[in-house]
Chains A and B, each alone.
Chain A
Amino acid sequence: MAIKTDTYLRRADRADLDTVVAWMEEPDFQYFLYGEPSRAPQQLREQIVKMLGRTAGHTMPGGIYMMIDSPTAGPLGLISLQNISWRNRSCSIDLYIARKEYRRGLVATIAVYRTLEYCFHELNMHRVGAYVYAFNTASWRVFELSGAQRELVLRDHIVRDGVSHDLYGYGLLREEFDALRAAHGARAESISLERMAEALERQLGSS
């Protein structure tokens, strides 16, 4: 059975700044995404503000921010590619679904799948990684569904509400993603980047 969705990914731009900054103020955003010294709230905030305020013509960005959007429900979340290395052809993904009612559905899985397609087939990445806190089960399951392997378990790496938690490091190589895509091609076809672009084109044509 084909998967149907009206969500799509688009580059975050200046008009999204207020939405993104408001999400960043949410306790959940900080609970699920912060914890690494390199991802201190202030640093990440400045980085996002800088990236969204930048002109679009930058050819070799160190980070890319995308909105998970829907014509019926509006902006649902943010997905970002961090630590892009054009030399290693690698990057890491951060995912935040702001609308809680969409966290346990297919929205995150589809957004990650499309982002992986974008990473491997548009940006020509060799490896995509993700760091996920162990308590964020919904999130690390999404990466496992995408074929990513749990490569790292850093014990007692972050503290939330006085309790220490493990940090998982996931990694997915291009050949692994392509193998998964080939195995589930029929189901994934309807949610591919190509189909998403076609649907957006139809939508723009009819409006």
Chain B
Amino acid sequence: MIRTGHAVIRATIPDDAGALFRLYDPRAPRAALLDQRREMLMPTAKELEETLVRQESGKAGFFTVELPEGEIAGFCALRGQNAETRFGEVALLMLDSASFESGVAHDALGFLKDRAFAREHLRKVVAHCLEREAELRGFLIQEGFESGGRQRDAFYTQGRYETIESLALYSASTGASHGH
């Protein structure tokens, strides 16, 4: 468990399944919850609970972000690490977009950056967002992420297509983003 200025970050446990389930809202899709085909996964709360029982979420790189009072504010993850190319993917899944301005998301990202760059010595982390995830995108840009581009019409939902943007943050020590 890590206590930061605005949040408590800990390994996700099966009891968190209810809060996690709230993220899988078909009316508010999130790029981080799309599968490789860019389709929305729609697990039940029971399936999520069973997954969390099976996995040690800390080892899987999946964490719960709590407010100091104990309320769950969201989840964060570092996944898909590639040892050879030394990059990974970060996911910030906040239940309330206000978390992007309150310092909670900043602390969660700081936690992921520390794991990625200091502990795992990755060179960069990538993140994805849909057009509708404007708060997440604004937050990532503010935190130093650079856009790698947008995949047009990559995801179909509620009668229309949306683009998916990929963003990357480079380790300060590599300076890789300035090498081109």
B124 x A156 contact (CB < 8 A)? yes
Residue of B nearest to A129 (CB): B151
- Which residue of the partner chain, among A84, A151, A173, contacts B37 with CB atoms under 8 Å? A84
A154 x B168 contact (CB < 8 A)? yes
Stretch at the interface among B55-63, B77-85, B103-111: B77-85
B85 x A159 contact (CB < 8 A)? yes
Which residues of chain A come closer than 8 Å to B18, judged between CB atoms?
Answer: none
Chain B facing A: main interface SS: strand
B148 contacts partner chain A, Cβ-Cβ < 8 Å: yes
Which residues of chain B come closer than 8 Å to A154, judged between CB atoms?
Answer: 126, 148, 166, 168
A88 x B168 contact (CB < 8 A)? no
A38/B36 contact (C-beta < 8 A), A155-B168, A156-B85, A157-B87 known: yes
B134 contacts partner chain A, Cβ-Cβ < 8 Å: no
CB contacts under 8 Å to A, within B28-50, are: 36-39
Q: How far is the CA of A48 from the CA of B26 in the complex (A)?
A: 32
Which residues of chain A come closer than 8 Å to B27, judged between CB atoms?
Answer: none
Q: How far is the CA of A176 from the CA of B137 in the complex (A)?
A: 28
| Chain A 165-192 interface mask (CB, 8 Å, partner B; 1/0) | 0100101010000000000000000000
Interface residue range, chain B: 20 to 34
Interface residue range, chain A: 20 to 34
A126 x B149 contact (CB < 8 A)? no
Smallest CB–CB gap between A183 and chain B, Å?
20
Stretch at the interface among B4-12, B64-72, B152-160: B152-160
Interface residues of B (CB under 8 A from A): 36-39, 80-82, 84-85, 87, 123-124, 126, 148-156, 161, 166, 168, 170, 176-177, 179-180
14 contacts between A and B (CB under 8 A): A35-B85, A37-B80, A87-B156, A88-B37, A88-B155, A127-B153, A127-B154, A151-B152, A154-B126, A154-B148, A155-B124, A155-B179, A157-B85, A164-B85
